[in-house]
Structure 1
Amino acid sequence: MTNLDIGIFIIYLVGIVLFGSSFYKKNKTASAFTLGNKKIPTWVITMSIFATFVSSISYLALPGQAYLTNWNAFAFSLSIPIASLMAIRFFVPLYRKVNSPSAYTYLEQRFGPWAKTYASVMYLLTQLMRAGTILFLLALPLHILLGWNITTIIVVTGISVMIYSLLGGIQAVVWTDAIQAIILIAGALVCLLVLLFSMPGGYTQLFETASLDHKFSLGSFSASLSDSTFWVVLIYGMFINLQNYGIDQNYIQRYMTCSSEKEAKKSALWGGLLYIPVSAMFLFIGTSLFSYYHALPGALPDGIDGDKVFPYFIVNQLPVGLTGILIASIFAAGMSTMSTSLNSSATVILTDFFKLPESDPNTARKSMLILYLSSLIFSVLSIGIGVAMINVQSALDAWWKLASIFSGGMLGLFLLGYFAPKVKSKGAIMGVIGGVVVIGWMSLSPLFIQEGPMLKYVSPFHNYLSIVFGTVVLFVVGFLVGNLLYRRKTSFKSQK
């Protein structure tokens, strides 16, 4: 990178930190820190919801996947309208009625404190792993391509996000999210235009080359449940996005920051729908990179493949100045996701684990202290996980897998609470046990059983379907057990 590119990147990083920190004066109460006093413009929350969808993983992985294979991942995006419509029909009105900064207060109301604690702990575990993983994956390509120290990148990025998120609260998070979303869209558009007009045979060559290799294919349309077919990815996307919209604190908190239910519905709908064309653009970049390097054999060094192709193109092929903007846009995607996790996790810790009496005159001060300390500790742990992944990725991958298994029951528990009013705590507990066992079997059996007589017990299904089957089993078991217990209780009362 040239000095100009490095300068642009540093200006962006410092600018975001200063801008986010400028909300400190408006951030003196717990309500301001967690909900922004419900005075944040709708378009800002919309862009923040979109930015929550897009992380540095998406920014690099989608082009990398399209470069290596095809547009199969786009089936995930096509499931978003279903989740968006369910959000505005069911989820937004419910959470606005509950009127709590935490998504998991509803589960406590339905099934008791255990349900809230279970969901809150699983959420915090997954967010810690998510933030640490994003910091690591954000630093990895820059370390490989630019030679920057990977630990330094992780620490500097983590501290930068911590500063403005801690000082500025949710207002800093959503406003910086909005700016970062605009930067990452603009950066991707610039890169796509450069690719289109850099083809030796013109932009038509791009489409011809990609079409010959079936790069625009959405994948197989077969009925197989063991492969990443169009239908498997679509169904997986439906359940993951329902989990995002229905039980993920990152999204629920944004519903609550809106000034009204109507504005919250607008943000939920358009924030999700915006991801569809943007994800298509990322995939098209990957397809374009395939055609570009196919037309220029030898231009891509050995060892540069998959997720590394897009960063290599940014550093080596873009004009001076644009490289700095694109590197900034990759960081924008990662920083927006981490800041969201940080603020939402602090909110969950305060709301779900500390019962501060409103009558106590020191409650306001104690609440802010808890929020600040939670943000600080979460940031330090995330940075630690990111640094640890440099040498012990296998152990942390296992932790991530386990956290995903336990959090996989959250969607089913919410659906059970909402759509099965007769089911009480005992039925829900049995459902959670059943769902977690199924998700654990589908996720872990292929890892631990690879040969021998036990091989027949390995899950034959694609791992994308673990959340699908786990959610269905949780709901069905909880529904059947809960209704059976309800009938017995009703019958016993009638006999008395």
Structure 2
Amino acid sequence: MSSTTILIIIIIYFGLLLLISNFVSKKGTDNDTFFKANKNSKWYLVAFGMIGTALSGVTFISVPGEVGNPDLQFKYFQFVLGNAIGMIVVATVLLPLYYRMNLTSIYSYIERRLGIVSYKTAASIFLISRTIGSAFRLYLVVIVLQRFVFDDFGVPFGVTVLLSLALIFAYTYRGGLKTIIITDTLQTFFLVSSVFFTIVFICNSLDLSFVQAFETVKESNYSKIFFFDDFQKGNYFWKQLLGGMFVTIAMIGLDQDLMQKNLSCKNIGEAQKNMFTFTGIFVVINIFFLSVGALLYIYAEKNGIAIPMVDGSPRTDLLFPEIAFHHLSIVPAVIFLLGLTAATFATTDSALTALTTSFCVDFLGMDKTENQNKPNIVRTRHFVHVGFSILMFLVIIVFNSLNDKSVVTMIFKVASYTYGPLLGLYSFGLLMKSKTVQDKLVPIICIISPAICFLIVKYSKELVGNYTIDNELIIVNGLITFMGLLLISKPATENTRF
């Protein structure tokens, strides 16, 4: 498929999103619409749309790409099982708390429980974490677009990033969450459809029925799921399961982005139905992504396709687009493109909305009654939206100059450092109801904890021999934060017990 054809499809795709945004925003562009979608979202739309937000282009490209690593294969599914357990914890423990307190920003819980400085610290951690994580996810798709489209037109990488963010800004800045609920539902449809159709097209290319494809994947060198043989390795089952569980509690349950959608449902019952439905779909769709990965490598071996190289290093992230664009017919190439675009832009548009919401509520107090009728308040929100778009652009440019690893590895590594203190803060708040903290010291604890974790990882060979620290790092980080909060704790008053 030519670069011109790809570009035309992308333009049509974004034109559709802009039409939807324009239609939705006619019904309201105030802050209640932007932040909470007027608390009138249908749970089934939220559940389906959250798939696109949670999966992103990382799952779409990096997860299938990593299947070819002998030490990984279907290892990621162990992590997914942990994700499912974590989502159940979020639905049964955190969501009822957020609804009972009627929160717009979930970090308001920390304000009431631990104090204003702790609250600002938690919100700041989210802003940093989500900006970096979403920038990494968008980066993955931009390098694909750059390699297969914009390089042919001589467009610099920075301009490609800027155009992508400008398009996302254009359809999110007015309607916010209410627009996102609709557009993410559409984008998830494209994402899920592309996964199923990709399997169909690859099976046809390999002359395999679905049953034969299942057997081929099962008997291949790519399908090992459970790794119990060496607890020192990063792929060990219990490390992946527990890591997946706590990463999910932190990256979904303690993340304004995913929780903002849940809090837009009418009541806790609908929000929990959304989460349980989302969990089931999430597990199934990841099985298909891993299967796509195995089939891609089998197809590549049969047709002598090498893993694409970037700066002399193999990039498994690019194997899927390489096969889709250069070795399959135009129909599967178009479907792949729509799925990839939908996966990543569903994540980025949601993140920009959540970042804007958190800053406007947590730092500018736009949810407070005395501020809601201030002049130019919507205009101020627009400026915040622009600011985070620019910040994300800068992060991507910096990351492009430094990155030499699989994006999926980088995202969860960064999350272990940034979300660990959030895990510690909420754990302390929920478990130590008889205690509060010396509020002004909390930022110090939340800086020291990731720093200690960094040193542990850096000197892990000297400290723990051949033991490989993987996704369980977020547990260690949260535990260190929790212990630090205990050291600066004091008896709680009645007003700080929730």
Structure 1 contact 246–411 (Cα < 8 Å) conserved: no
Q: CA deviation at 1:309?
A: 1.0
Residues 117, 258 of structure 1: alpha-carbon distance in 2 compared, 3 angstrom cutoff: same
| 1:314 is aligned to 2:324 | yes
Report the more deviating stretch, 13-22 or 456-465.
Answer: 456-465
Corresponding residue number in structure 2 for 1:390: 400
Structure 1 contact 215–287 (Cα < 8 Å) conserved: yes
Corresponding residue number in structure 1 for 2:199: 192
Corresponding residue number in structure 1 for 2:496: none
Query: CA–CA distance in 2 between the matches of 1:314 and 1:21?
Result: 33
Instruction: Please state whether the residue corresponding to 2:180 is helix, strand or coil.
Output: helix
Instruction: Please state whether the residue corresponding to 1:262 is helix, strand or coil.
Output: helix
The correspondence for 1:443, drawn from 426, 433, 454, is 454
Residues 107, 158 of structure 1: alpha-carbon distance in 2 compared, 3 angstrom cutoff: same
| 1:113 is aligned to 2:120 | no
Report the more deviating stretch, 310-319 or 143-152.
Answer: 143-152
Corresponding residue number in structure 2 for 1:62: 63
1:266-325: CA deviations, max 9, x gaps?
A: 1122123211111111110000112222223x2447636521111111102332233123
Report the more deviating stretch, 112-121 or 79-88.
Answer: 79-88
Two-structure CA RMSD over aligned residues (Å): 3.1
Structure 1 contact 412–474 (Cα < 8 Å) conserved: yes
1:472-493: CA deviations, max 9, x gaps?
A: 33334545764xx449x9xxxx
Return the letter of the residue paired with 1:164.
Y
Q: CA deviation at 1:54?
A: 0.8
Q: CA deviation at 1:27?
A: 2.9
Structure 1 contact 446–459 (Cα < 8 Å) conserved: no
| Structure 1, unaligned runs of 5 or more | 490-496
Query: CA–CA distance in 2 between the matches of 1:302 and 1:280?
Result: 24
Query: CA–CA distance in 2 between the matches of 1:267 and 1:275?
Result: 12
Return the letter of the residue paired with 1:25.
K
| 1:167 is aligned to 2:174 | yes
1:349-387: CA deviations, max 9, x gaps?
A: 111112366346842x44312321111111122123223
Query: CA–CA distance in 2 between the matches of 1:289 and 1:402?
Result: 28
Query: CA–CA distance in 2 between the matches of 1:287 and 1:114?
Result: 48
| 1:241 is aligned to 2:244 | no
Q: CA deviation at 1:210?
A: 4.0
Query: CA–CA distance in 2 between the matches of 1:302 and 1:124?
Result: 34
Return the letter of the residue paired with 1:376.
V
Corresponding residue number in structure 2 for 1:408: 420
Residues 34, 204 of structure 1: alpha-carbon distance in 2 compared, 3 angstrom cutoff: closer
Return the letter of the residue paired with 1:372.
H
Q: CA deviation at 1:429?
A: 5.0
1:58-107: CA deviations, max 9, x gaps?
A: 11111101133410001111123322222222211110111121010000
Return the letter of the residue paired with 1:391.
S
Corresponding residue number in structure 2 for 1:494: none
Instruction: Please state whether the residue corresponding to 2:173 is helix, strand or coil.
Output: helix
Corresponding residue number in structure 2 for 1:17: 18
Structure 2 contact 33–175 (Cα < 8 Å) conserved: no
Report the more deviating stretch, 369-378 or 223-232.
Answer: 223-232
The correspondence for 1:266, drawn from 267, 270, 273, is 273
| 1:157 is aligned to 2:168 | no
Corresponding residue number in structure 2 for 1:41: 42
Q: CA deviation at 1:330?
A: 0.5
Corresponding residue number in structure 2 for 1:493: none
Residues 22, 106 of structure 1: alpha-carbon distance in 2 compared, 3 angstrom cutoff: same
Query: What does 1:85-484 correspond to in 2, within 5 Å?
Result: 85-146=88-149, 147-148=151-152, 149=155, 150-200=157-207, 206-207=213-214, 210-222=217-229, 224-296=231-303, 298-300=304-306, 303=309, 306-355=316-365, 358-359=369-370, 362-363=373-374, 365-393=375-403, 405-426=417-438, 429=441, 437-447=448-458, 455-456=462-463, 460-479=467-486, 482=489
Structure 2 contact 360–381 (Cα < 8 Å) conserved: yes
Query: CA–CA distance in 1 between the matches of 2:182 and 2:167?
Result: 15
| Structure 2, unaligned runs of 5 or more | 494-498
Structure 1 contact 119–407 (Cα < 8 Å) conserved: no
Q: CA deviation at 1:342?
A: 0.7
Residues 222, 392 of structure 1: alpha-carbon distance in 2 compared, 3 angstrom cutoff: closer
Report the more deviating stretch, 122-131 or 419-428.
Answer: 419-428
Return the letter of the residue paired with 1:21.
N
Instruction: Please state whether the residue corresponding to 1:283 is helix, strand or coil.
Output: helix
Instruction: Please state whether the residue corresponding to 1:323 is helix, strand or coil.
Output: helix
Return the letter of the residue paired with 2:451.
G
Structure 1 contact 413–428 (Cα < 8 Å) conserved: no
Q: When the two structures are superposed, what TM-score results if normalisation uses the length of structure 1?
A: 0.87
Structure 1 contact 210–290 (Cα < 8 Å) conserved: no
| Larger of the two Rg values belongs to structure | 1
Corresponding residue number in structure 1 for 2:81: 78
Residues 192, 360 of structure 1: alpha-carbon distance in 2 compared, 3 angstrom cutoff: closer
Q: When the two structures are superposed, what TM-score results if normalisation uses the length of structure 2?
A: 0.87
Query: CA–CA distance in 1 between the matches of 2:410 and 2:202?
Result: 38
Structure 1 contact 435–470 (Cα < 8 Å) conserved: no
Structure 1 contact 83–241 (Cα < 8 Å) conserved: yes
Residues 402, 227 of structure 1: alpha-carbon distance in 2 compared, 3 angstrom cutoff: closer
Instruction: Please state whether the residue corresponding to 1:26 is helix, strand or coil.
Output: coil
How many residues in Structure 1 have an aligned counterpart in Structure 2? 478
